[in-house]
Each structure stands twice: as structure tokens, then as C-alpha cells.
């Protein structure tokens, strides 16, 4: 077996040194009737690289990948170009095969990149500080709600009608154990301001997504003012972080906590994971002490050289156990690395241009699709994703387009369930699309309608 | 001074001079290049990505254009390569050397897995594409489920949890849902958790709204059964137990524990962090487990990546599987289908744990690992992991102090008795290992052992590697006992940095760079 | 005339009439190592003996502070928020945590005096 270095001579010598006659003597504590006498049933025996690769390649071919199609799906996961150097760098052994940086003297690579990541996230969101990442945007949102409940010592939260339904469900499930009252406003376009009517003296936070799940841009400023006037916090959610290159940051609009999906920068679609959750908040000790997850912080070593450590760990489960701010242990280490490298390659100039390009492509596409008879663009504003009303069932249209190699968006019913939104299609585009792709999409949509 | 034939000195002029005394002008030290922060080397107008031109368009941002600069720094591609390569060289890694972190299972990460995870049919598919266009990806998830159920003997698996702690939460929420259905959630408040448990266990149970009741360890390092029997009762929701436990020992009384908790109407949650010790040797189903998470990033070799991402699928018994969260996978003939919302569900999902369907990138890697090993190889993995740990235990026990008598499973636990009457602590001993070129073992965990040192070599190490490591630790132990504390209390001196001031970091937190 | 008492949880109370100043003992501060943060109780809060009402943290540990007697919190030492190191420097002086009015002075019975506490911590 290519991954196992011991040979039979080694094993025999080691058993002799231990003083047992067979390896099964080391498993003597397993109850007799629970011991497996033979190999695990139902599984094949070992396989070489070629055999495994053949199997995986055959499976892979059974899916239509985004790169093979004209591709217009978004809904919380976006296909952007990731420079080749990003994937090369994250595969360096020293990053790929390192553990959590608990021994800072020999983990400065991971720690410094985390510190840089935290800084970039704080800059991007316009917030004071950011943590070293969460699993993804949806779990970051759920953690942000729990954090707001601890900070305000109130137990209600209000979720805006434009919040991604998966996010709303995640918040709802996560609040269940904690007896947090979750008020989910029914999904609707153009109604995010309605959260203001639900504010009361027990409200810990309102959660508003921008751009929202329909792709609309939401001015958070009046929401922040109303929340603050009621003693509540505003949690701003973003599922498409590239938008922050062009759109006012949540910090500038008064958000107290930001939860975002960072996948768009540095990370591929990967069928939904692993992604990278961003969590940023005000630079206020009251907030930071209630934050979940890891923080890297700057300090000095014994010879006064600058260095980085994981810090403020007394909030975390390995020290605080049942009183921890969260049970989270793992972060999205390697995905944060991909994020920070890609964003470093982009820089201020590149991110702004990339965001501008995404918006421009969406504007061009909206104009193009708007010329189709019976197709209505519902958004008045958007970044790189918008909602289209079709003259029929959107799920059927999407299935039909897929047969001709076009992945033409996400039917709203996939997210909201069948019913009210059956004729709505969420369409996203990015810098990866060209005018030719748009023309293919347009033609396919005309054909299926 | 010794001169060679070309007239150059063959040896350092002054042997007293040691590496750490040399201060260089550049700040670099040989191959170790100095590297400031991104924000100190980059610039706002530098960019390492060339983008196509922006087409003509009428902007539709609704008046929300960003007016302020973001403040980001950019790098050209060559600068970026140097920045990150230089930083990478300040990290220890499995590919560099033995990584004996107990409880973490730092095994080799096969590169085949990396290659296969990047195949377009898994890496370049969108989670919300029509399901008819992602049958390959769904089939892979189905195969992974089959392997995980076969290895554990369990009935079903929830794939969406994104890490071990997320998996614990999934399992405990299934238990919570089952209790709720029975109408006993308000009366069953207690979850029994050993003192030796990972901190995630009590944190998870608390997140699910339960009260934590700690179980002490007995003199052999296992659950104290007298105390356990006294604590079991009609108000117990569940017991959360790691097996093998965090002392590296198999819980001999696990069947009795399972029976007692079941008789009392509660459930048995098993923390599967240490599955690497028992694959192919026993199935958790046969031990009476109701739910267990599996850390794909431990047992099944998906890379730790400096702290993540992980994946924590949860295997479930028949009576809990109906409560598994959405989305879940079902097979209709040859086709695979995801059930994504409660309205479609024939079962009784407790809810949704995250957007989309879980860590696909980890599923591919883990399945490639499992298929490469097969049923025979997986059993060999556990046997070699346990053999390696016991070999280290046998080699070290003369100079170091094992916390408990007898053999261990996949990790060997020592306490700091052997450092008694020296000036050396567990921390100092660990830091001295860094100077010897090793990553330290897990320190001060589990909490039930004083000055704990938990060593998990995994099956990845050769006998030669283990011997070199044992020789080094034995030498360090002898040095500590002989009263020479210098090499310990100042250690490390040969790492990129010396000990860091964690007190300052916590008292005056600096969590981001700011322009001076 | 004030009198000092100690609890088995290594807290001290300097009692003057029905008011008490509470902190952790010099011995405890030494055991804890560098204090990095103190979470203080809200003033005005009524507490029962044994409630956990504050937390003192070092880099790798967090220890609960229990109300040593029942009563009402009257002051919290907010200076510790910015200078937690005072707990190490002057634990039984400027490093006090909070002051409270005692609702039942009989709860002080059985607590250790200075000599008894010195004996208690001699091990």
C-alpha cells in the first residue's frame, strides 16, 4: 500500500519491542462480540492511482461543468476567474499540510496571512475588525445573530424578506436550541425596509442582505438608523463580496456586524463547499469579546521581533467549554488563504475594475434579455445578478436550456419552493462571460419560451 | 586557524558564535527571507491580474456607489509569489516532518486527492444547477455515504456538516428532535460529558440548550463507571463520549455505557475524532452508538490547510436518521436526487445547517483516500496507527512518564511527572522540540492529566522516523532531568521567531494592520 | 474598622459594616499568571451567594468569580478594563473587582481570616 511505510519486518520488530505477540493484542479492549473478524463488508480492496483516477474521471464526466456551458448561476455562489498562481500557492506543502497555528514560532506563515486576511476583510466591509473566518456565509450569519443576542442581551431577531432562504433557514435552525425568537419576513422583492416595522424593545438585531437574494441593492443607512434607535444591531449580509468593490460598504452604511460569503474571491464553485465565511464587526471590545471563532493578533517575540499569534482564545470552546461564544473550532484556513492571495493580486485597482466589469456585464445582459418578448427585468438596481419574470415556469425553462448546454440561472422556486415565484428566474453574470456567451444564452432562452 | 589549499578558512573562526547571535543587515537569514506585511510591500495601484475592458453600459447601482477608497494593497504576480512563498517557509508541515499532535491525526495528504478534487465535474459545478446536470457529483456523494456507513455499520449519514464541531451539533440536534417528538425535551435536560472531552462537546451540547454534567475519569483513564451509574437517570438526554477517548484509550465499558443510557431513555453520541484507531477492527454500530461525526480532515486525510476547511459528516442510527437535516440525498433507480426543503421531505428534518450541500471538495478527497486503501488498507491504517503509537510508548516510557499503564490505541499520553524537580515544564519541553526540528505534541490536553503531552504519530511514520523521534525525546528527557534547563526555558532559539508575548497580544489586541 | 475574609475559591472580602470589597487573593493572582481581562458585574445587580458574576482571564484560562455573599453590587472597578495587570500588581489593593452591600452578614461565618487562609494555601 503506497501510503503505508511499515513493512512486515518493521511490524514484527515493533511488536517485539512492545512485548506483544500480535497486533490484535493492542485491540484487546474492544468487546469480543464487537470485533470484526473479517474485512468490512461491502467495500472493495485497495486500488492504485490509475484505477481510482479512472473511476473519478468517469464520475466527473457525468456532470455538466460550468466551464463547458454558457453559465449564469448565482444565488450565493459565483463563478469568477481565479488566477493560476492562487491555486499553485495554496498547494504549497507548508500551507496545505499545516495544522491550526497553535505553535506560533513555527506557524508564522499561516498567522501572518490570517492577519492580512483579517485586515483585508475589515477594509472591504468598512468595519473595524474581522475574524479569521467561519465555515461559510450562512453559518457566519447564524453566528452573527447569536453574537448580537449576547451583546444586546435581547432575544429576538428579524430577518429581511431579501435574505437568502438557505441563510434564513440556517439562522432559524441555529437559534432553535438557544430559544432565540426568529421573525422571518416572507420573501419579497423591494420590501427590505419592512423590517423596521418589526423592531421592538426585545429585538437584538435585524439581518439584511445587500445585494439581496433577488439581486437588488439595498440602502442600509435608514435600516441602521432605525435599528439603532430601537437599541438593536444591524447585521449586514453579503453573498457576493466582489460587489464591495463598487458598492458602498456596510460599514459606511452603519452596520454593526457583517456576515458574508467570501467564495467569490479565490475560491471555485465546488458544488457548494468548502467556502469561506467572513465575519466583521465594530472595533469595540464588547463586540470582539462576543465574537465567535479565531483571531490572529500582532505581538512581539522574546527578542522584540514582530510576530503573530492566535489571541483572545478565552472566548473559544477549548478553554471556555460550555460557556464558549461558539462551538466552532475549525475555520476555513486554506480558503482564507486563497481569498487573501487573490485579493492581494487584485489590490484596490483590480478589485474596483473587476467589480465594475461584473456590473457592466450584468447591465449589458439585462438589456439583452429585456428585448425578449414576454421577459421582464424586475430589478431597478443590481450589481451582477437580477431577477427576471418569464412568461412561464422558470424551472422548466432552466431544465430545457440545460439540455442544450446552457446553465441559464436559478429558478426562484429552487430557493423558495414551488408556488408564488414559479415564473421568476435569478440570473447572475461575471467577468468570465463574453458577448458570445450572452448571445448563446439569449438564443437558448428565446427557444425555450 | 585552519587553512585549506586555496587559503580560505575551513572552519568558523570562532566556534562560539552561534546562529542566533548573528544579526544580518537585511533581516533575512540565509534561505529564510524577511517578509513584511502585504500592506507594507504592496501598493494601491499595483495589480497582478489583467482584466478585459469594461463594456459600455448604463450603471444601475441605485445611487449606492462606493465613494470611499477601500484601502487594499495590490501586488504584481512575481511579488505575490515571493510574498507567499517566503511566508510559507515559516510554517511547519506534515510534508516536512513528523507532526505528533494528539487528537489531530496529522497524516499524509495524498496528492492524487488534490488532483481529483479539481476535476471539473466536482470543482466547477454550481450547487444550484439543475440536478439532472450534476449526477456525477451526486453519485460521488452517494458513494461516500456508502463507504462511511459500511465502515461504521450505521444506517444513514448526514453530509452537510462542515467540520467536526458542526457535525456534533448535527448529531445533538437529531437527538434533540427525537426527544422533542417523544415530548421529553423539557424533562431531559442533562448531557453527560467526560472531563477529558474536547471542548467542542460541552460547547455543542450547550448550543443545543442542554445542561452539561461532567463525568470524571477513573484511575485507568476511562469513564468512572460508579459515577456514571449514579448520574444516569430519566432526565438524561444523552451521553457524549469520544472513543477511543482523548487519553488514547478504548472505553472498555462502552457497551455498558450504551446499554445504560438507552435503558434510561437517552441517546449515545460518539465523538468520532479518533476513528483512525478502529477502522476495520470494530464498527461503532456494534458498540451501541446512535450518532457519530467523522472528521474527514483527520481520518480520511483531507488537508488541514492551516486550520481548515474540514468536513464532519454524521452517521446515524435508524431511529435518528429520520431527523437528519436538509439537504439529504435519495436514490431513485439510477438517478440521485437532493431533498432540499422541508416541504419536499418525507422524513422529519430538524432544519438546515448551512447553505447548499456540504463540503464537496472534502468529499472527493476523502473518497479517493478510502478507495485507494480499500477495506484491507483501512484496517491496516488503524493497525499501523495503533502499532506506531504503542511503539513510541514502549520506547519512551523509560524516561518519560506514561499517564496510564498498559497499551494505548492510536495516541500515547504522558504526564509531567518525569519533569518533577526540574525547572522544565511541559511547555518548555515542547518548545525545545521545535529546536530539534519537530512540531510539539498536543500540550495540556486532555485536562484530566497534569501537564499532559499527547503524542499521535499516525500510520504515516516509518519505523526509522519513529526511532529518530524517540531518540530525540529521550535525549531531551535525560537533559531535563540532569538539570540543564537552559535549552528548555529559552527555547525555541532556532525557529523563525522565539517565544511570542501572548499576554501583550491579549491585553492590547491588534487584530488588523492600520496605516501609521 | 474593616476586616478581611477569604473564601475557599480564593476570593477575598474586605468588610466594613455591611459593605464589602471583593477581589482575588495575592496567592490566586500568582497562580493565575498574567491577567489579560476581567469581566465585571453590572452595578445595581442583586446576587445570591455562589452565583457566578464575573470572570478573570489569563491567556489560556478563564476563571469564574462567585458572589461570596448575597447582596447588591454597588461598584465595579472599571479601571481593570484598561489595566487588567493591576490584578497581578496589587490584587488585594487597587486590583479589587467589585463592591457590594451584604444582605446577610451571617453568610460571613465560617470564612477564613488571613492566618487561616495562609494555612489553607500552604500546600
Domain boundary among B370, B389, B413: B370
Say if residue B344 is in the same domain as residue B283.
Answer: yes
The pLDDT, as a whole number, for residue A228 is 98
Mean pLDDT of chain A: 96
A211: preceding bond cis by omega (within 30 degrees): yes
Determine the pLDDT at residue B12. 44
Crossing angle for the helix pair B426-435 and B463-481, nearest 10 degrees?
A: 130
Q: Given a cut of 50, is residue B451 above it in pLDDT? A: yes
Question: Do A156 and A183 contact (CB within 8 A), yes or no?
Answer: yes
Q: What is the pLDDT of residue B21?
A: 65
Q: Do C59 and A313 touch (CB under 8 A)?
A: yes
| Residue ranges of A 330-369 with Cβ closer than 8 A to chain B | 330-335, 337, 340-341, 343-354, 356-357, 359-364, 366-367
* Fold entry, domain A67-81+348-448: 3.90.1150
Domain of B406, CATH number, reads: 3.90.1150.10
Same domain, B309 and B184: yes
- Decide if pLDDT at B23 tops 90: no
- Are the beta carbons of A19 and B394 closer than 8 angstroms? yes
Report whether pLDDT(B230) > 50: yes
- Strand order of the sheet with strand B190-194? B156-158, B314-316, B291-293, B267-271, B236-242, B190-194, B211-215
CB contact under 8 A, A323 and C81: no
Average pLDDT over residues B66-72: 94
Question: Where along chain A do the CATH 3.90.1150.10 domains lie?
Answer: 67-81+348-448
Residue B13 confidence (pLDDT) above 70:
no
Chain C: give the shortest CA distance to residue B505, in Å: 9
- Kindly state whether residues B253 and B125 are assigned to the same domain: yes
Query: Which residue is closest to C34 within chain B, CA to CA?
Result: B503
Q: Do A312 and B509 touch (CB under 8 A)?
A: yes
* Cα A320 from Cα B247, distance rounded (Å): 20
Q: How many domains does chain B have?
A: 2
3-state SS, one letter per residue, for B393-420: HHHHCCCCEECCCCCCCCCEEEECHHHC
Among B507, B508, B510, which would you mutate to test the C interface (most chain C Cβ atoms within 10 Å of its Cβ)?
Answer: B507
Same domain assignment for residues B359 and B312? yes
CA distances to A102, B396, B423 from B427, in Å: 12, 18, 11
Say what the pLDDT of residue B10 is: 43
- Its domain, for residue B486, covers 375-496
Residue in A40, A164, A329 closest to B151 by CB: A40
How much is the average pLDDT of A191-198? 95
Res. B260: pLDDT tops 60: yes
Phi, psi of A102 (to 5 degrees): -80, -15
Residues of B in contact with C37 (CB under 8 A): 506-507
pLDDT tens track for A43-60: 999 999 999 999 999 999
Whether residue B405 is contained in a domain is answered as yes
Q: B104-132: per-residue pLDDT in tens? A: 999 999 999 999 999 999 999 999 999 99
From the list A56, A96, A348, which residue is nearest B69 (CB)? A348
Among residues of chain A, what percentage have pLDDT more than 90?
95
pLDDT value of residue B173 = 97
The mean per-residue pLDDT over the stretch B210-230 comes to: 96
- Same structural domain, B425 and B361: no
* Averaged pLDDT, A342-347: 98
Touching chains, B (3+ CB pairs < 8 A) = A, C
Contact A319 C37 (CB under 8 A): no
Q: How far is it, in rounded angstroms, from Cα A171 to Cα A140?
A: 9
Nearest CA to CA, how far is B405 from chain A (Å)? Answer: 13
Q: Does residue B407 share a domain with residue B328? A: no
Chain A residue with CA closest to C52: the answer is A323
Percent of chain B with pLDDT over 90: 93
CB contact (8 A) between residue C37 and residue A314: yes
What percentage of chain B reaches a pLDDT higher than 70? 96
Check CB contact under 8 Å for B502 and C84: no
Contact B503 C34 (CB under 8 A): yes
Nearest to B380 among A1, A99, A356 (CB): A1
Contacts of C57 in chain B (CB under 8 A): 506
- Pick from C117, C59, C47, C118: which is nearest to C85 by CA? C59
pLDDT digits (tens, 9 = 90+) for A199-208: 999 999 999 9
pLDDT tens profile A407-435: 999 999 999 999 999 999 999 999 999 99
pLDDT at site B17: 46
Cα-only R_g, chain C: 13
- Please check the confidence at residue B40 and state whether its pLDDT lies above 60: yes
Å between C36 CA and nearest CA of chain B: 5
Q: Do residues A119 and A299 make contact, with C-beta atoms less than 8 angstroms apart?
A: no
- Which residue from A139, A270, A353 is facing B354, i.e. has the nearest CB? A139
Question: What is the pLDDT averaged over residues B334-355?
Answer: 90
Q: How many helices and strands in chain C, by DSSP H and E? A: 4, 9
C57 chain-A contacts, CB cut-off 8 A: 314
Interchain proximity A99–B203, CB inside 8 Å:
no
C-alpha cell at A442: 439569449
From chain A residues 30-89, the ones with a CB under 8 A of any chain B CB are 30-31, 33-36, 39-49, 51-53, 55-57, 59-68, 71, 73, 75-77, 79, 83, 85, 87, 89
The answer, for A399 touching chain B at a CB cutoff of 8 Å, is yes
In a domain, B68, yes or no: no
A241-250: pLDDT as tens digits: 999 999 999 9
- B14: pLDDT strictly greater than 60: no
pLDDT band (50, 70, 90) for residue B20: low
Q: Is B134's CB within 8 Å of A63's CB?
A: yes
pLDDT score for C122: 85
Tell whether the model's pLDDT for residue A73 goes beyond 50.
yes
**What is the architecture of the domain spanning A84-342?**
3-Layer(aba) Sandwich (3.40)
CB burial of residue B39 (10 Å; 0-12, 13-18, 19+): buried
CATH of the structural domain C3-104, one choice from 2.40.50.100, 3.10.580.10, 3.40.50.620, 3.40.50.300: 2.40.50.100
- Same domain, residue pair B409 and B295: no
Chain CA centroid to CA B467, Å: 25
Chain B residue at shortest CA distance from C36: B507
Q: Which of residues 186-215 of A touch B (CB under 8 A)?
A: none
Q: What is the mean pLDDT of residues B167-191?
A: 97
Q: How far apart are CA A242 and CA A265, in angstroms?
A: 7
Q: How far is A312 from chain B, CA to nearest CA, in Å? A: 6
Q: Do residues B337 and B438 share a domain?
A: no
Identify the CA nearest to B246 among candidates B516, B452, B488. Answer: B452
Task: List the 200-259 stretch of A: residues with Cβ below 8 A of C.
Answer: none
Q: Is the pLDDT of residue C74 over 70?
A: yes
Q: Return d(Cα B198, Cα B273) in angstroms, integer.
A: 9
Residue B444 domain-assigned (yes or no) = yes
How confident is the model over A210-250, as pLDDT tens digits? 999 999 999 999 999 999 999 999 999 999 999 999 999 99
Kindly determine whether residue B500 and residue A13, on different chains, have CB atoms separated by under 8 Å: no
Do residues A250 and A127 make contact, with C-beta atoms less than 8 angstroms apart? yes
For position B6, what pLDDT does the model report? 45
pLDDT of residue C123: 65
- Across chain C, mean pLDDT equals 93
Please tell me the predicted confidence (pLDDT) of residue B9. Answer: 44
DSSP lists the bridge partners of residue B32 as: B29
A349, B47: Cβ pair inside 8 Å?
A: yes
pLDDT at B11 over 60: no
> What is the per-residue pLDDT for B362?
98
Q: How many CB pairs under 8 A join A and B?
A: 721
> pLDDT higher for B157 or C33?
B157
pLDDT above 90 (res A400): yes
Q: What is the CA radius of gyration of chain A?
A: 25
**How many B×C Cβ pairs under 8 Å?**
16
Q: Per mean pLDDT, which range of A3-12, A134-143, B361-370, C107-116 is the poorest?
A: C107-116
Alpha-carbon gap, residue B230 to B227, rounded angstroms: 5
Within 13 Å and on the Cβ side, how many CA atoms surround C118? 4
Choose the mutation target among C38, C62, C63, C80 for the interface with A, i.e. most A CBs under 10 Å: C62
Is the CB of C57 less than 8 angstroms away from the CB of A314?
A: yes
**Residue B90 belongs to some domain of the structure:** no
Interchain proximity B506–C59, CB inside 8 Å = yes
Average pLDDT over residues B385-408: 97
In angstroms, what separates the C-alpha of C81 from chain A's closest C-alpha? 10
Domain ranges within chain C, ordered by starting residue: 3-104
Name chain B contacts of A20, Cβ cutoff 8 Å. 390, 407
Report the alpha-carbon distance of residue A93 to residue A243 in Å, rounded: 32
Say whether A314 and C81 touch across the interface (CB within 8 A): no
pLDDT at B18: 53
The reply to whether B154 and B231 lie within a common domain is: yes
Taking an 8 Å cut-off on Cβ atoms, the answer to whether A319 and C61 are in contact is: yes
pLDDT over 70 (residue A189): yes
Section C32-47 average pLDDT: 93
- A404 to chain C, any CB pair closer than 8 A? The answer is no
pLDDT for the residue numbered B19: 54
User: Residue A265: its pLDDT value, please?
Assistant: 98
Amino acid at each position: 500500500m503506497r501510503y503505508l511505510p511499515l513493512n512486515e519486518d518493521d511490524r514484527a520488530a515493533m511488536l517485539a519491542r512492545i512485548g506483544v505477540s500480535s497486533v490484535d493484542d493492542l485491540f484487546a479492549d474492544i468487546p469480543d462480540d464487537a470485533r470484526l473478524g473479517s474485512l468490512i463488508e461491502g467495500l472493495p480492496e485497495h486500488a492504485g492511482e490509475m484505477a481510482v483516477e479512472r473511476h473519478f474521471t468517469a464520475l466527473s464526466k457525468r456532470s455538466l461543468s460550468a466551464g463547458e456551458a454558457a453559465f449564469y448561476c448565482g444565488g450565493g455562489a459565483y463563478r469568477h476567474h481565479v488566477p493560476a498562481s492562487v491555486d499553485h500557492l495554496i498547494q504549497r506543502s507548508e500551507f496545505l499540510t499545516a495544522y491550526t497555528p497553535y505553535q506560533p514560532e513555527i506557524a508564522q506563515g499561516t498567522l501572518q496571512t490570517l492577519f492580512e486576511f483579517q485586515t483585508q476583510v475589515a477594509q472591504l466591509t468598512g468595519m473595524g475588525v474581522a475574524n479569521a473566518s467561519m465555515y461559510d456565509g450562512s453559518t457566519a450569519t447564524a453566528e452573527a445573530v447569536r453574537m448580537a443576542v449576547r451583546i444586546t442581551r435581547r432575544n429576538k431577531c428579524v430577518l429581511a424578506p431579501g435574505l437568502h432562504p438557505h441563510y434564513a433557514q440556517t439562522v432559524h435552525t441555529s437559534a432553535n436550541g438557544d430559544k432565540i425568537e426568529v421573525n422571518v419576513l416572507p420573501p419579497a422583492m423591494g420590501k427590505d425596509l419592512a423590517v423596521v416595522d418589526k423592531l421592538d424593545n426585545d429585538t437584538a438585531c435585524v439581518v439584511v442582505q445587500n445585494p439581496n437574494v433577488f439581486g437588488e441593492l439595498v440602502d442600509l443607512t435608514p435600516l441602521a438608523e432605525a435599528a439603532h434607535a430601537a437599541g438593536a444591531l444591524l447585521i449586514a449580509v453579503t453573498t457576493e463580496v466582489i460587489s464591495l468593490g463598487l458598492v458602498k460598504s456596510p460599514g459606511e452604511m452603519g452596520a454593526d456586524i457583517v456576515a458574508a460569503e467570501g467564495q467569490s474571491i479565490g475560491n471555485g464553485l465546488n458544488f457548494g463547499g468548502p467556502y469561506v465565511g467572513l465575519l466583521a464587526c465594530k472595533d469595540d471590545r464588547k463586540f470582539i469579546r462576543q465574537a465567535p471563532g479565531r483571531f490572529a493578533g500582532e505581538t512581539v517575540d522574546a527578542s522584540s521581533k514582530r510576530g503573530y499569534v492566535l489571541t483572545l482564545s478565552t472566548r473559544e470552546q477549548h478553554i471556555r467549554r460550555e460557556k464558549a461564544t461558539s462551538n466552532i473550532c475549525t475555520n476555513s484556513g486554506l480558503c482564507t488563504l486563497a481569498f487573501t492571495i487573490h485579493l492581494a493580486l487584485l489590490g484596490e485597482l483590480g478589485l474596483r475594475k473587476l467589480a465594475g466589469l461584473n456590473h457592466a456585464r450584468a447591465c449589458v445582459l439585462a438589456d439583452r434579455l429585456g428585448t425578449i418578448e414576454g421577459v421582464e427585468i424586475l430589478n431597478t438596481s443590481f450589481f451582477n445578478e437580477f431577477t427576471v419574470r418569464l412568461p412561464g415556469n422558470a424551472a422548466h425553462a432552466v431544465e430545457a436550456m440545460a439540455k442544450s448546454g446552457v446553465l441559464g440561472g436559478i429558478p426562484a422556486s429552487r430557493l423558495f419552493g414551488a408556488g408564488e415565484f414559479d415564473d421568476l428566474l435569478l440570473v447572475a453574470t461575471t467577468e468570465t462571460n463574453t458577448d458570445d456567451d450572452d448571445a448563446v444564452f439569449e438564443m437558448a432562452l428565446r427557444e425555450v419560451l | 586557524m585552519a587553512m585549506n589549499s586555496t587559503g580560505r578558512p575551513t572552519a568558523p573562526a570562532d566556534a562560539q558564535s552561534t546562529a542566533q547571535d548573528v544579526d544580518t543587515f537585511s533581516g533575512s537569514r540565509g534561505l529564510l527571507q524577511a517578509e513584511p506585511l502585504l500592506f507594507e510591500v504592496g501598493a494601491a495601484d499595483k495589480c497582478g491580474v489583467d482584466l478585459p475592458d469594461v463594456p459600455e453600459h448604463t450603471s444601475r447601482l441605485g445611487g449606492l456607489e462606493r465613494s470611499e477608497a477601500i484601502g487594499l494593497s495590490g501586488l504584481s504576480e512575481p511579488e505575490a509569489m515571493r510574498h507567499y512563498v517566503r511566508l510559507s517557509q515559516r510554517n511547519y508541515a506534515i510534508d516536512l516532518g513528523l507532526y505528533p499532535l494528539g487528537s489531530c491525526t496529522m497524516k499524509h495528504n495524498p496528492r492524487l486527492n488534490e488532483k481529483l478534487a479539481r476535476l471539473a465535474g466536482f470543482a466547477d459545478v454550481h450547487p444550484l444547477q439543475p440536478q439532472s446536470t450534476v449526477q456525477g457529483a451526486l453519485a460521488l456523494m452517494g458513494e461516500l455515504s456508502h463507504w462511511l456507513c459500511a465502515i461504521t455499520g450505521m444506517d444513514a449519514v448526514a453530509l452537510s456538516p462542515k467540520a467536526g464541531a458542526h457535525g456534533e451539533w448535527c448529531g445533538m440536534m437529531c437527538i434533540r428532535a427525537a426527544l422533542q417528538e417523544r415530548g421529553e425535551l423539557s424533562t431531559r435536560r442533562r448531557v453527560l460529558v467526560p472531563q477529558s472531552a474536547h471542548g467542542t462537546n460541552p460547547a455543542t451540547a450547550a448550543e443545543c440548550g442542554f445542561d452539561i454534567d461532567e463525568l470524571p475519569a477513573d484511575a485507568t483513564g476511562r469513564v468512572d463507571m460508579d459515577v456514571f451509574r449514579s448520574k444516569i437517570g430519566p432526565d438524561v438526554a444523552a451521553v457524549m463520549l469520544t472513543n477511543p477517548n482523548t487519553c488514547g484509550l478504548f472505553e472498555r465499558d462502552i457497551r455498558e455505557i450504551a446499554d445504560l443510557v438507552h435503558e434510561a431513555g437517552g441517546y449515545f453520541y460518539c465523538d468520532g475524532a479518533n476513528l483512525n484507531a478502529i477502522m476495520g477492527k470494530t464498527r461503532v454500530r456494534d458498540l451501541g452508538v446512535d450518532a457519530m461525526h467523522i472528521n474527514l480532515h483527520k481520518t480520511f486525510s483531507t488537508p488541514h490547510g492551516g486550520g481548515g476547511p474540514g468536513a464532519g459528516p454524521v452517521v446515524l442510527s435508524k431511529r435518528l436518521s429520520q431527523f437528519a437535516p436538509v439537504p439529504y440525498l435519495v436514490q431513485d433507480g439510477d438517478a440521485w436526487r437532493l431533498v432540499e426543503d422541508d416541504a419536499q421531505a418525507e422524513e422529519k428534518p430538524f432544519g438546515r445547517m448551512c447553505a447548499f450541500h456540504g463540503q464537496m471538495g472534502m468529499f472527493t478527497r476523502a473518497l479517493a483516500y478510502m478507495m485507494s486503501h480499500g477495506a484491507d488498507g483501512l484496517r491496516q491504517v488503524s493497525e499501523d496507527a495503533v502499532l506506531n503509537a504503542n511503539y513510541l510508548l514502549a520506547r519512551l516510557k523509560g524516561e518519560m512518564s506514561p499517564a496510564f499503564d498498559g497499551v494505548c490505541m492510536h495516541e500515547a499520553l504522558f504526564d509531567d511527572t518525569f519533569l518533577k524537580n526540574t525547572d522544565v515544564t511541559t511547555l518548555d519541553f515542547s518548545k525545545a522540540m521545535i529546536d530539534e526540528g519537530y512540531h510539539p505534541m498536543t500540550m495540556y490536553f486532555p485536562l484530566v492529566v497534569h501537564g499532559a503531552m499527547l503524542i499521535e504519530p499516525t500510520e504515516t511514520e516509518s519505523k526509522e522516523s519513529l526511532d529518530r523521534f524517540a531518540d530525540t525525546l529521550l535525549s531531551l528527557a535525560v537533559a531535563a532531568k540532569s538539570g540543564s534547563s537552559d535549552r528548555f526555558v529559552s527555547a525555541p532559539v532556532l525557529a523563525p521567531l522565539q517565544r511570542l508575548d501572548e499576554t501583550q497580544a491579549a491585553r492590547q489586541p491588534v487584530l488588523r494592520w492600520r496605516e501609521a | 474598622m474593616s476586616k478581611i475574609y477569604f473564601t475557599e475559591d480564593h476570593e477575598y472580602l474586605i468588610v466594613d459594616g455591611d459593605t464589602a470589597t471583593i477581589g482575588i487573593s495575592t496567592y490566586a493572582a500568582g497562580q493565575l499568571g498574567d491577567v489579560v481581562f476581567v469581566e465585571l458585574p453590572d452595578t445595581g445587580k442583586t446576587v445570591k451567594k455562589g452565583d457566578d458574576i464575573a470572570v478573570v482571564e489569563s491567556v489560556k484560562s478563564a476563571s469564574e468569580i462567585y458572589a461570596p455573599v448575597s447582596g447588591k453590587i454597588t461598584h465595579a472597578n472599571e479601571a481593570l478594563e484598561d489595566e487588567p495587570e493591576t490584578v497581578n500588581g496589587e490584587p488585594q489593593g487597587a486590583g479589587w473587582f467589585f463592591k457590594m452591600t451584604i444582605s446577610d452578614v451571617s453568610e460571613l461565618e465560617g470564612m477564613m481570616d488571613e492566618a487561616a487562609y495562609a494555612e489553607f494555601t500552604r500546600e
